[in-house]
Structure 1
Amino acid sequence: MVPPTPAWAAPPARAAPPVSTLGGPPRFLARWRATHPCGDLPASDLVKARPRCIGGPMTESVIETSSPGVAARLPRRALVCVRDPEAAELWGPVFGDQDVDALDADLTRQYPGRPHGECITVAGRVTDRQGIPVRRQLVEIWQANASGRYAHQADHGPGPLDPHFTGVGRCLTDDQGQYRFTTVKPGAYPWRKDFNAWRPAHIHFSLFGTAFTQRAVTQMYFPGDPLLAHDPFFQAVTDARARARLVATYDHELSVPGRTLGYRWDIVLDGPAATRRETNW
């Protein structure tokens, strides 16, 4: 089940003209462009409109405020106040209520130009605690571009924006519980934890299982990343086996000749071997 779009993100109610998606934005973005007052912005300016229009990823940095009674927590850090009471619930992009299109899962074809960076295929299987496939369920992802920059107004990092890459995608699992995305490998980026702190390359995942207890928001990491040893989010998972399950494996069979390198990442939604959620860190 897709969560309702917040009122501040809902587009005006008027019919959208037909929009071709071949070689352009996926349908959920094309329809948003056709119906939203921000939709006529060029791709390079979407960063200024995303939080109000189609949302964006949470940032890991702490926002200090004097507002009482509102708190968020970083792993192993004291409680701090945040400015927006709803910020802790805005886990990912606001896609709206459009049907999921097959092109939504290819983040490299959202605009006519090709995004910068190393193209990758990320695929895997979603199961429950008994290993039973979780069929026909929504999987959403969001990520930084190859330069480590999110298309989000709150991201003021040094990396350049990519006008051909939004960093958001979604798909439905098939009857075997399998999902598949084509995207670019995200870059590492500095953040304000302390001096010379960097977040390793990662992709945010949001999954809707068959029950409320299977709702999961988590992060996938890449093998061999030296920053994993220094990342407080990754290291906050104290169980070594649980940490290992957050790291994808290179899969040569998934690689597309001349186009992408393949990474496999399987997700377990509940039980002792469940993939760690962000709220568990």
Structure 2
Amino acid sequence: MTHDADYNSQETQGPFIARDPNWQPKAYTADYKYTIARAPKLPALSVANTVSEMTGPVFSKEILGKQDNDLIHNYARSGEAATGEPIIVHGKVVDEHKRPMKGVLVEFWQTNASGRYRHKTHNIAVPLDPNFGGFGRFITDNEGHYWFRTIRPGGYPWPNGPNAWRPPHIHFSVFGYAFAQRLISQMYFSGDPLVWQCPIVRSISDTDAIETLLAKPDIENSAPMDALAYRFDVVLRGRRMTFFENHE
């Protein structure tokens, strides 16, 4: 982890535009049972940004491995690959003023094609893929772009109700130029009917806002006879920032 004079310049330092609470997910949603105990009981307080929140850290590309953005092969045994439908996910990271953000660390994790995470607490009755770790990372280029190859994740049952299912999704962690720009969110797939039934998604009241979480097919950037591309752009901080993950 390094600090770069360009990234911590006067242009990128200073207070950030406040998040719009009406744009972000509700802290309490009746049909999302995990929010019952977790939602704050007292009104939110407005606190000024501190110096440590408005500066660094910034990440160097030296921390990346050669296959960090290739989830199909970065955990696979030699000569093998993850099982599932190959896809490409790409997009652009911008700030609240729509300026591209270079040098931003983008991390992503997901289930395998059968809908299982490689985590000891996720014990649904489907097998792990021995060639799929489910995690990767990338650092945005000078225009704020990121991209990675992976397999389309599977949906899975979860204990929110007697027959509750999470839609296929990919988790994102985006670390901007300061701690106050850290974002953790989820990307869903356009056209999936489970999205509109998910109580986590329904904690966002604005339908247009939900649409910003749906990655749409991008034929132009697909790999012919190989992998369909999806585009997912991210906005850090401000009134129309990408949504914080209201995690299960």
Distance 1:75 1:154, change over 3 A: farther
Partner of 2:69: 105
Structure ranking higher in helix proportion: 1
1:196 to 155, 163, 166: 163
- Partner Cα separation in structure 1 for residue 211 and residue 220 of structure 2: 21
The sequence identity of aligned pairs, in percent, is 44
Match of 1:50 in 2: none
Question: Matches of 1:170 and 1:109 in 2, distance apart?
Answer: 13
The alpha carbon displacement at 1:100 in A equals 1.0
Aligned-residue RMSD, C-alpha: 2.2
When the two structures are superposed, what TM-score results if normalisation uses the length of structure 1? 0.66
Matched residue SS, 1:253: helix
Distance (whole Å) between structure 1 residues aligned to residue 66 and residue 140 of structure 2: 11
Report the equivalent of 2:83. Answer: 116
Structure 2 SS opposite 1:147: coil
**Taking structure 2 as the reference length, what is the TM-score of the superposition?**
0.74
Following superposition, the deviation at residue 118 of structure 1 comes to 0.4
Q: Unaligned 5+ residue runs, structure 2?
A: 3-26, 39-61
Gapped regions of structure 1 (runs ≥ 5): 3-72, 81-97
Query: Structure 2 counterpart of 1:251, which letter?
Result: D
* Map 1:23-172 → 2, pairs under 5 A: 75-76=29-30, 77-79=35-37, 99-110=63-74, 111=76, 112=78, 113-172=80-139
Matched residue type, 1:100: L
Give the C-alpha shift of residue 99 in structure 1: 1.2
Q: Distance in 2 between matches of 1:226 and 1:115?
A: 26
Runs of 4+ in 1 over 4 A off after TM superposition: none
Matched-pair contact (CA < 8 Å) for 1:149–1:160: yes
Give 1:102 shift: 3.6
Q: Which structure has the higher relative contact order (CA within 8 Å, separation 6+)?
A: 2
| Equivalent-residue separation in structure 2 for 1:226 and 1:240 (angstroms) | 14
**Change in CA separation of 1:192 and 1:280 when aligned onto 2, cut-off 3 Å:** closer
Distance 2:115 2:208 in 1: 27
Q: Tell me how far 1:101 sits from its aligned partner.
A: 2.2
Counterpart code for 1:139: V
